[in-house]
Structures are given as C-alpha cells and as structure tokens.
C-alpha cells in the first residue's frame, strides 16, 4: 500500500478523475463501433446476396458464350488478347471513431477493353460481350464484399479490445483506486485520532503535574506555618532602594 498522506491521496484522486474520463470516452467509442458494426453486418448480408446473384448470372452467360462459340474454350483467347488490366483495386482508409478501417475501391477503365471487344465477332460476339459485362459486375461485387469483410473483421477486433479496456477500467482499475483512496482516508483519520489522543494525554499529564506541584507547595507552606500566602507578598530578591537613583 502507498504511504498515507495528503499528497498521495491527491495523486490517486487525480488518477480517479482520469480513469473515469477515459472509461466514459472508451464506452462512447465502443457504442459507436457497435452501431457501425450492426450497420456493416446488414450491408454485408445484402452484398453477399447481390454478389451471389451476380456470380450466378455470370455463370449462365459464360455457358451461353460457350454454346454460342460452338463449344470452343474462350478463356485462353481472352487471356491472350488482354494486354493491360482494365480493373484495378486501390486501398484507402475509413475513419470510424478513431479506428482506421481498410477500404478497397474498384476502378474500371473502359478504354482498356479494346483488346477484348473484337472477340467473337464472327460467332456469338454479342453473347461474349454480355458475358464480359456480367463478370465485370461480379468482380465489382466481389471487391466490395472483400472490403466489407476486411473492415468487419478489423472492426470486430477493435470492439473486443475496446470492451476489454472498458471492463478493465470499470471492474479492476477504478475499484482498486477507490479502495486505495479509502485506505488512505482511513489511515489519515486514524492518525488524526491518535494525534488528538496524544495531545489530550499530554495536556492531562501537564495538568496533573501542575496540580501535584501546587499540592506540594501547599504542603510546604503548611509545614512552615504559612497559609494563604499571596505570591505578591513574597519577599523580593532585589534591593529595596537603588542608591543610583536620586529623589528630590
């Protein structure tokens, strides 16, 4: 336990103020993160359903493209004609209550699709182009879902860490500081009572000593036959006349 004095008590009271303020701020942060967590969970469910439907449509259009091209495999042809990436993914951050959540943004450049637009002009060109459009939508949905899932996981970890901090402040640190302040207050009160009792005993002993001296003095005077002697009538040790002083 720390020493029980006013300086230590003031130090722990300031710590208590800081701990309560930090607990309040962390609790507000946790509530904001939980609200974002619930909204993001709903968005993830909707994005999963949309992406699943997009992948299903892309698979059907791919099957149609295979049928339109007489069963030829168009995958290798598409890969050979692709020279530059038409879809790029950039990483950025989204600030939510002081927490940086990763965000993936899908960027599509239509000008780079010229190498694949001439695919299947003779047979099923429109179907192949339709297949390309459906897969483009599916990829955009997958990137969005990946962004939401990554942010969701990061947000979940941050909520767990913030909750642990809030619980540590609420159930460990603040009660410990309260207990220490209570202990210091009790010790200071006990020291004050001990000091008051000590001063009281000193005063009583001094009073008894003076009373004892008075009784001894009265006994001595009684033994000498002096009763009710006024201290002002006692003989003075100084000479009665001062020869240096001249009176007219």
Q: What is the pLDDT along the chain (248 residues), one digit of tens a residue?
A: 777 788 888 888 899 999 999 999 999 999 989 888 888 888 899 988 988 888 888 888 878 777 766 666 666 666 666 677 777 888 888 888 788 888 888 887 777 665 554 555 455 567 777 877 888 888 888 888 888 898 889 899 999 999 999 999 989 999 999 999 998 888 888 888 888 888 988 888 888 888 888 888 888 878 776 555 555 554 554 455 555 545 44
Sequential DSSP letters for 38-77:
HHHHHHHHHHHHHHHHHHHHHHHHHHHHHHHTTT---HHH
Structural tokens at position 146: 């990946």
The domains of the chain, with CATH numbers, are 6-180 (1.10.287.3240)
**Apex CA 210: angle with CA 204 and CA 214, to 5°?**
140
pTM over 0.85: no
Give the pLDDT score at 163: 92
Give the pLDDT score at 160: 92
Give the pLDDT score at 121: 46
Give the pLDDT score at 247: 47
State the Cα–Cα distance between residues 160 and 30, nearest whole angstrom. Answer: 9
Give the pLDDT score at 79: 64
Among 159, 154, 157, 155, which Cα is nearest to 31's?
A: 159
Give the pLDDT score at 248: 46
State the Cα–Cα distance between residues 233 and 23, nearest whole angstrom. Answer: 79
Give the pLDDT score at 164: 92
State the Cα–Cα distance between residues 184 and 180, nearest whole angstrom. Answer: 6
């Amino acid at each position: 336990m720390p020493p029980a004095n006013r300086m230590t008590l003031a130090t722990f009271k300031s710590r208590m103020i800081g701990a309560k303020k930090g607990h309040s701020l962390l609790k507000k942060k946790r509530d904001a993160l939980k609200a974002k967590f619930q909204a993001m969970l709903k968005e993830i469910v909707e994005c999963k359903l949309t992406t699943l439907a997009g992948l299903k449509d892309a698979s059907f259009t791919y099957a149609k493209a295979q049928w339109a091209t007489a069963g030829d495999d168009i995958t290798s042809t598409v890969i050979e004609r692709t020279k530059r990436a038409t879809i790029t993914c950039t990483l950025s951050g989204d600030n939510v209550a002081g927490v940086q959540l990763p965000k993936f943004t899908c960027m599509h450049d239509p000008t780079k699709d010229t190498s694949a637009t001439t695919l299947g002009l003779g047979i099923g060109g429109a179907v192949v182009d339709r297949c390309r459009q459906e897969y483009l939508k599916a990829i955009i949905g997958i990137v969005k879902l990946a962004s939401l899932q990554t942010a969701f996981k990061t947000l979940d970890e941050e909520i767990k860490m913030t909750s642990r901090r809030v619980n540590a402040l609420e159930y460990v640190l603040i009660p410990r500081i309260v207990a220490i302040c209570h202990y210091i207050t009790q010790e200071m009160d006990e020291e004050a009572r001990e000091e008051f009792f000590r001063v009281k005993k000193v005063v009583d002993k001094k009073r008894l000593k003076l009373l004892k001296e008075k009784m001894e003095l009265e006994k001595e005077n009684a033994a000498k036959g002096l009763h009710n002697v006024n201290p002002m009538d006692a003989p003075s040790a100084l000479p009665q006349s001062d020869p240096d002083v001249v009176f007219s």
